[in-house]
Each structure stands twice: as C-alpha cells, then as structure tokens.
Amino acid sequence: MTVSPPAGPLVVTVVGPTATGKSDLALELALALGGEVVNADALQLYRGMDIGTAKLAPDERRGVPHHLLDVLDPAQEASVADYQRWARAAIDDCHARGRRVVAAGGSGLYVRALLDHMEFPGTDAQVRAGLEDRVEAEGSRALHDELARLDPEAAAAIGPRNARRIVRALEVIALTGRPYSSALPQHVYEVPAVQIGLDCDRALLDERIAARTDRMYDAGLVEEVERLVAHGWGRTAARAVGYAEAVGLLRGELTPDEARAATSAGTRRLARKQMGWFGRDPRVHWLDAQDPDLVARALALVARADRGELGPATDDPAPRRSLGS
C-alpha cells in the first residue's frame, strides 16, 4: 500500500504507557498550537466504549476537534491498514485547513502505521484456518519454533504464546515467500513527526492505574459493558482490558473486588508492553508525566523540532525510566 506523506508541519505525537495522561497532554498541546487531535488508540475508535478506554467526553475536549473517535460499532473489526488510511486522510484534511495535528495514543502498531512506511500483505482464509487448526492441535509453541526456523527476527519479536501474531507471521510467509519481518515498519518517518513519550515511575504508575480502575468501575463500566453486550460486539472489543473482566463479573465468574483487581493487573501488563514497544523506538523524546512544567517542556521540544534543532532522542540528557524494574 503506497501512501503519499502529508504536506504540512511536523505531526506532534504523544505516546507512552496507559494512565500517563497522553490525552490530557495532547489536548493542551492542540490548544497551544492551534491544532486538532487525531486518535491513535485502537479501542477509542469504537462507539460506546467510553469509560473503559478513558475517552475524553465531548465536554472535556474544550472545543478542540478530535478525529477518529467513535467511528466504528463495537461489532466491527478494523485493520491497521484501515486505520492508516483514515488517519492519513485526517492529517491531510487538517493540513489543508492550516491546522496543526497532534496525534495521541498507546496502540504502538497504530502509531507506526500513522507515521512510518508499512506494508500490508494480503490474507488467505484457507491458509489462516489451517494454521489456526494447527495451533489447536500442536500448540502455539510448536508453530513458534517453526517461525524461528523461517524468520528468526520475527520469532524474537513475537512471544511463543501469542498465537494470533504467530499465525499471521506464518500466513504472510506462506503467501509472499518472504520473511514476515521484511513487512514490519522501520524507524523511518513517512509522515514527518516529533514523538513525545510520557514516562512514569513504576510504583507511581501502578498507583495511577489502580485509581483509574476504581474511577472506571465507579463511573459505570459494568453498565457500559451491559449495553455493549446487549447490542453485540466483536472479538477485539470483548477482549479489551477492563471489558473482559467486567463480563466476568456479569457472568458471576468474578466478584466485584476480583474484577477490579484483575483489571488493574491487566492494565499493568499492558503498560509494560507499551513501554517495551515505544522504548524500542529511538526517535521518542521522553518526558516525566509528573513534571509540573510538562506542557511547557513538551512545547519546547516541538519548537526545537520545528526549527530543526532537535537531535536524536538517544542524545536526550535525561534518559527514560525503566518500567521493567
């Protein structure tokens, strides 16, 4: 899929783990820069998935237009290729009207699709079904061993329990005759951007996650899930952190306390995965999410980037914390 890079100023992109305040910072930057926000969170695409995704309500957006929120029904499934097409069109629209784009989200693959060149090999239902049958019969580890023989780089990036991605990698290899890793994005911008990462001390982030989990349940997450179940929803929505646990509560499989604890634990695991993903991108400039001067520091980064003065992120004087410790 060939997409021409949008003509316009650098896209300001706010990334990092969940519960670090990406949406709030993106809003402040958009207000300061005369910009509009483009969503890069896979679950915030869905209508009705508001509380569990920490989506800013319309009255919290302070008049700033937000793109790619509430564009899908929960029963629909969106591909990364779909998202790339929609997001690039939103950027083109903003730039055509002279508006700055601030993108924000924690879905790493969506951010890469927004900014970088990505290929989207086709699919084959029969090949995929055969691989999925093999997962059931042989286990995901056996297929991961096969992937390691065919494409060691892809196998190193995909865990042996991630059956969905293992199947996809083997499907692409079978269809194209090329390594799956050759289709993965490289750290080269197709859409010129400056990426700002929000970092947070692990213990503090865990506290923020626990507090946000309580706010979600207190705000009516279970009732939100009841409405979604009643209208029907797809696999992606039903498996999301918070939503899956609320379903367990509704089914009587979890107590309220167990559901909250499981949601917090799942969100902590998600945050570690997100930091691993974004932490591998050397172009991300990391800021402390708790810094009282966060907005000013972020705007200073944008100004330096606009002037061409911002060097490699690996040269930043204040390295990011590690969420793995």
- What is the rounded average pLDDT of the residues 265-284? 95
Task: Return the pLDDT at 320.
Answer: 56
The answer to whether 163 touches 135, Cβ cutoff 8 Å, is: yes
pLDDT band at 296 (very low <50, low <70, confident <90, very high): very high
Which of 156, 183, 187 is closest to 168 using CA atoms? 183
243, 228 contact by CB (below 8 A): yes
- Each domain of the chain, given as residue ranges in start order, spans 11-118+188-200+279-315, 125-183, 204-273
- Distance, first Cα to last Cα, the chain: 39
Q: Residue 184: what pLDDT?
A: 76
pLDDT tens digit sequence for 128-161: 999 999 999 999 999 999 999 999 999 998 989 8
Residue 94 CB contacts under 8 Å (≥ 6 apart), including other chains: 8, 35, 36, 38, 67, 100, 101
The region that residue 27 occupies, defined by phi over 0 for left and psi between -120 and 50 for alpha, beta otherwise, is alpha
Known binding residues for ATP: 16-23
pLDDT of 182 > 90? The answer is no
Q: Which CATH architecture has domain 11-118+188-200+279-315?
A: 3-Layer(aba) Sandwich (3.40)
| Least confident segment among 106-110, 171-175, 211-215, 318-322 | 318-322
Q: How far apart are CA 54 and CA 146, in angstroms?
A: 39
Query: Percent of the chain beyond pLDDT 70?
Result: 93
**With 0-12 CB in 10 A as exposed, 13-18 as middle and 19+ as buried, what is 255?**
exposed
pLDDT computed for residue 2 by the predictor: 40
Residues 22, 195 contacting (CB under 8 angstroms): no
Q: For the residues 169-192, what does the mean pLDDT come to? A: 90
| Best CATH choice for the domain 125-183 from the list 3.30.70.1140, 3.50.50.60, 1.10.20.140, 3.90.550.10 | 1.10.20.140
What CATH architecture does domain 204-273 belong to?
Answer: Orthogonal Bundle (1.10)
Q: Extract the annotated binding site.
A: 16-23
Q: Which residues are annotated as a binding site for substrate?
A: 18-23
- How far is it, in rounded angstroms, from Cα 200 to Cα 208? 10
Q: Locate the DSSP E strands across the chain.
A: 11-15, 35-39, 66-67, 100-104, 193-199, 284-288
Tell me how far apart the alpha carbons of residues 172 and 178 are, in angstroms, rounded to a whole number. 8
177: phi then psi, degrees, rounded to nearest 5:
75, 10
CA distances from 13 to 38, 220, 278, 301 (A): 9, 30, 12, 11
* Contacts for 88 with CB less than 8 Å, ≥ 6 apart: 3, 6, 114, 191
pTM: 0.85
- 11-118+188-200+279-315 and 125-183, same CATH topology: no
